[in-house]
Amino acid sequence: MVTPPVDENVVRFFDTTLRDGEQSPGATLSSAEKLEIARQLARLGVDIIEAGFPAASPDDLAAVQRIAREVGTADGPVICGLARAVESDIRTCWEGVKDAAKPRIHTFLGTSDIHLKYQTGMTREQALAAIRKAVTLARSLCDDVEFSPMDAGRTDPAFLVEVCALAVECGATTLNIPDTVGYCTPQEWGDLIANLIAETPGAGPGSGVAWSVHCHNDLGLATANTLAGVMAGARQVEVTINGIGERAGNTSLEEVAMAIATRPQFFNVRTNINTREIMKTSRLVSNYTGMAVQPNKAVVGANAFAHEAGIHQDGVLKNSSTYEIMTPESVGLHQSRLVLGKHSGRHALKARLKELGYNIEGDALNQVFARFKDLADAKKTVTDADLEALIADEFNRPEEIFSLVDIQVTCGTMGMPTATAKLRNANGEEFVYAAVGAGPVDAAYKAIDAIIQAPNTLIEYSVHSVTEGIDALGEVTVRVAPAGREGDKRSFGGYGADSDIVVASVKAYMAAVNRMVAVLGYGDRQPEGEAATVGVKSAGD
């Protein structure tokens, strides 16, 4: 089966959260998390999922294969893998995607003079020969082939036409034009795309070739450039959730989808995106990558639908269209009609969760209900934002190699901050450790480190409250980098929510460290401390 033919009225969404997004510092995901994100992307309605870079490592290959088999069903999205324009990459990529009902190979080569000179050391002729070989090979394996001339934004436009024409001649079905370093401006970018569509032999309107744009956000212009590309005739946009990606990131899926949905007359195209799944997808990606969404981020930021100024509040109360160009519901945010509090029962909670898009039953519901009751005891009313944070904390967790049983801290002005942590490993053994630190969070992290023995550096820690008020739920995101692994630039994020911020901090740290242990192994470590005995570590150790 192949990707359906290009429809001039429809813009396809090619989501590269799991490939370009995962390349952003600290966004490393485990294979199980990638699969869950891919499932959510399918629910969101993306047309193509770039599931990874199979030649990067055996783990990447396995993750792409799993997504191809489990998400790449006949009625699901196209599953794509990335490959450099070299034979071994392309063959490995095919191994990754071939079990999908609609597989795609995406191969690329830098074509700007800067990339040719400094990165590959190729002449233009050598680059053309490599593209011919790569695209021909990819097409011999797969009917759906995408080619990207990397750094197209800084490539000589005449050479770009030559490159694109050659890729089509060799069988490419999608030509993706990347502004790899986020250098172009919207007018310039739109003109470049229009010119390529008009000038590339064999790839004009009606040829069946899909034109695509892939923009980076170094100058904050990624969404504007992508939309300029659509106006110029591109019918595929390459995007990531929350705009995560290399350096300043990629184009945000949610921004492009909502621009097209909000201004249908202006863009005059449709998409297959179910915009009501946007918030859920954004939260999932943020929780798993540990990359918090900035509050003023368009569409998915915490303040995107908040009105502070009196005159704005007055307008919105009279008629929301005064200051809202899209409704919160259209992106999957719901206004509470039910107020939940400590007297609310399981049914009310279940109904509210269902309205928020979570069908939770059985044991999972019992788990959430217990958490809800604890929160409702501490807080007068439990808001939708609180529920979303609880769900994220309960379910958006990595595979737990160690789970938190208990944490106890003592701190204040009278003594040394001390924490006692009790963790359980996969065999059910429990380890207890007490540690002294510079503060309660530091002490807790030291106690956890002593048990898990996965050396790391805490490189980011942030805490914020979900709602207003002293009794609010606190959300913590952390990022850790493995220590003592020469050249390993990966880092791992974690998220936790609780009305006690030390507990939220511990949950976030446990999530990040578990993620790191799942991805990097550390199989030969022995936990410190003995089952159910107490070890002690002081701040100086």
What is the DSSP secondary-structure string of 107-132? EEEE-SHHIIIIII---HHHHHHHHH
Nearer to ligand KIV, 215 or 501 (CB): 215
Please tell me whether residue 153 binds ligand KIV under the rule CB under 6 A. no
Please tell me whether residue 20 binds Zn ion under the rule CB under 5 A. yes
Minimum distance of ligand KIV from residue 481's CB (angstroms): 23
User: Total residues contacting Zn ion (rule CB under 5 A)?
Assistant: 1
Residue 108 contacts which entry, Zn ion, ligand KIV, none (Cβ below 5-8 A, type-dependent)? ligand KIV
Position closest to Zn ion via CB: 20
Residue 28 contacts which entry, Zn ion, ligand KIV, none (Cβ below 5-8 A, type-dependent)? none
Half-sphere exposure of 227 (CA within 13 A, CB side): 19
Please tell me whether residue 22 binds Zn ion under the rule CB under 5 A. no
Residue 33 contacts which entry, ligand KIV, Zn ion, none (Cβ below 5-8 A, type-dependent)? none
Nearer to Zn ion, 20 or 89 (CB): 20
Residue 418 contacts which entry, Zn ion, ligand KIV, none (Cβ below 5-8 A, type-dependent)? none
| Alpha-carbon gap, residue 251 to 27, rounded angstroms | 16
Q: Which residues within the stretch 1-40 sit at the binding site for ligand KIV (CB under 6 A)?
A: 20
| Alpha-carbon gap, residue 455 to 232, rounded angstroms | 51
Task: Spell out the residues 6+ positions from residue 125 whose beta carbon is closer than 8 angstroms to its own.
Answer: none
Q: Which residues within the stretch 216-235 sit at the binding site for ligand KIV (CB under 6 A)?
A: 216
| Alpha-carbon gap, residue 286 to 271, rounded angstroms | 24
Centre a 10 Å sphere on the Cβ of residue 43 and count the other Cβ atoms it contains.
13
Strand extents, DSSP E, 40-169: 48-52, 78-84, 103-110, 145-150
Only one of the segments 19-27, 169-177, 185-193, 289-297 lies at the binding site for Zn ion (rule: CB under 5 A); that segment is 19-27
Nearer to ligand KIV, 176 or 499 (CB): 176
Minimum distance of ligand KIV from residue 176's CB (angstroms): 6
| Tokens representing residue 73 in the block | 């069903």
User: Total residues contacting ligand KIV (rule CB under 6 A)?
Assistant: 9
Give buried/exposed letters for 363-401 (b at 16+ CB in 10 A, else e).
eebeebbebbbebbeebeebbbbbbbbbbbbeebbbebb
Mark 456-485 with x for binding to ligand KIV (rule: CB under 6 A) and - for no binding. Answer: ------------------------------
DSSP code of residue 216 = B
Minimum distance of ligand KIV from residue 287's CB (angstroms): 24
DSSP code of residue 321 = G
Please tell me whether residue 146 binds ligand KIV under the rule CB under 6 A. no
Among 13, 14, 108, 509, binds ligand KIV (CB under 6 A): 108
| Alpha-carbon gap, residue 104 to 348, rounded angstroms | 45
Residue 102, by phi and psi: left (phi above 0), alpha (psi -120 to 50) or beta?
Answer: beta
Mark 157-176 with x for binding to ligand KIV (rule: CB under 6 A) and - for no binding. Answer: -------------------x
Please tell me whether residue 150 binds ligand KIV under the rule CB under 6 A. yes
| Alpha-carbon gap, residue 20 to 180, rounded angstroms | 11
| Alpha-carbon gap, residue 539 to 219, rounded angstroms | 44
Task: Spell out the residues 6+ positions from residue 190 whose beta carbon is closer than 8 angstroms to its own.
Answer: 225, 228, 229, 231, 232
Nearer to ligand KIV, 48 or 501 (CB): 48
Q: Which residues within the stretch 200-219 sit at the binding site for ligand KIV (CB under 6 A)?
A: 214, 216
Nearer to Zn ion, 29 or 511 (CB): 29
What end-to-end distance do the CA atoms of the chain give, in Å? 60
Minimum distance of Zn ion from residue 215's CB (angstroms): 8
Residue 286 contacts which entry, ligand KIV, Zn ion, none (Cβ below 5-8 A, type-dependent)? none
Minimum distance of Zn ion from residue 226's CB (angstroms): 12
Minimum distance of ligand KIV from residue 63's CB (angstroms): 18
Nearer to Zn ion, 236 or 418 (CB): 236
Residue 48 contacts which entry, ligand KIV, Zn ion, none (Cβ below 5-8 A, type-dependent)? none
Determine how β-strand 78-84 pairs with β-strand 103-110.
Answer: parallel
Minimum distance of ligand KIV from residue 500's CB (angstroms): 42
For the chain, how many residues are written? 541
Among 180, 242, 252, 499, binds ligand KIV (CB under 6 A): 180
Determine how β-strand 103-110 pairs with β-strand 145-150.
Answer: parallel
Which residues form the interface with ligand KIV (CB under 6 A)?
20, 108, 148, 150, 176, 178, 180, 214, 216
Which residues form the interface with Zn ion (CB under 5 A)?
20
